[in-house]
A and B are shown apart, each in its own frame.
Chain A
Amino acid sequence: TQLLEQSPQFLSIQEGENLTVYCNSSSVFSSLQWYRQEPGEGPVLLVTVVTGGEVKKLKRLTFQFGDARKDSSLHITAAQPGDTGLYLCAGAQGAAGNKLTFGGGTRVLVKP
């Protein structure tokens, strides 16, 4: 059982549509990170959020950290085929630094 639950597990949309991926937990995290992983590659860091209620924007991607630091969301506006990939959230707890607990991932497919 994953400590971090991601939903949905799979998302298929058309180019230009919006999408939201959720990451939920019953545990509090000192920080939460979002990664994107492409087939045959390692995960690549997109963003780190550390403050409850924090919102960060990275071009068409908007990341939000819940007030209680237990959940997060990733919203992509006007998705493009290049956004296709496995999106992973990962939480760090206390002094464990970057000993990360990963969610199960959301596989996103953006069709042209």
Chain B
Amino acid sequence: GAGVSQSPRYKVAKRGQDVALRCDPISGHVSLFWYQQALGQGPEFLTYFQNEAQLDKSGLPSDRFFAERPEGSVSTLKIQRTQQEDSAVYLCASSLGDRGRGELFFGEGSRLTVL
């Protein structure tokens, strides 16, 4: 596609439910990042993939958060047993180069609300 595509755009979950957020990066982009943006804040790094390899997951807030990119293209961020503090916009970004070199292109984000 022309840009980074994320789905769903909006997700409302009851506390304790599992959610899955999808990211379709720009075709051919090697690097893929997930960021979490709380209301009124700047984005915070969650995890980084180079192709299918998850090279950095230091930003994942707990073991309830899991991300994968099995074929080096589409990525899924899964949150198990959601909590209210997980409410945020989850942004996916991709870049052409490895280690995130080159311009970073962001998707529109998936807004998660946990009730």
Q: Name A residues whose Cβ lies closer than 8 Å to a Cβ of B.
A: 2, 4, 6, 33, 40-45, 88, 90, 92, 95-105
Contact = CB atoms under 8 A, between A and B. Distances in A.
A44 B42 contact: no
Interface in B8-43: 31, 33, 35, 40-43
Contact of A45 (B40, B99, B104, B108): B104
B108 A40 contact: yes
A6 B42 CA distance: 10
A101 to B, nearest CB: 7
Contacts, number: 63
B45 A43 contact: no
Given A98-B100, A100-B104, A42 B41 contact: no
Contacts of A40: 108-109
B48 interface: yes
A101 B45 CA distance: 7
A42 B45 contact: no
Given A42-B4, A103-B42, A98 B107 contact: no
Given A42-B4, A43-B91, A105-B41, 4 more contacts: A42-B106, A88-B42, A92-B100, A100-B43
B87 interface: no
Contacts of B43: 43, 88, 100, 102
B42 A42 contact: no
Given A44-B106, A45-B103, A102 B42 contact: yes
A43 B100 contact: no
Contact of B56 (A33, A99, A100): A99
Contacts of A42: 4, 91, 93, 106-109
12 contacts: A2-B42, A40-B109, A42-B106, A42-B109, A43-B43, A45-B104, A97-B101, A98-B100, A98-B101, A99-B33, A99-B48, A104-B42
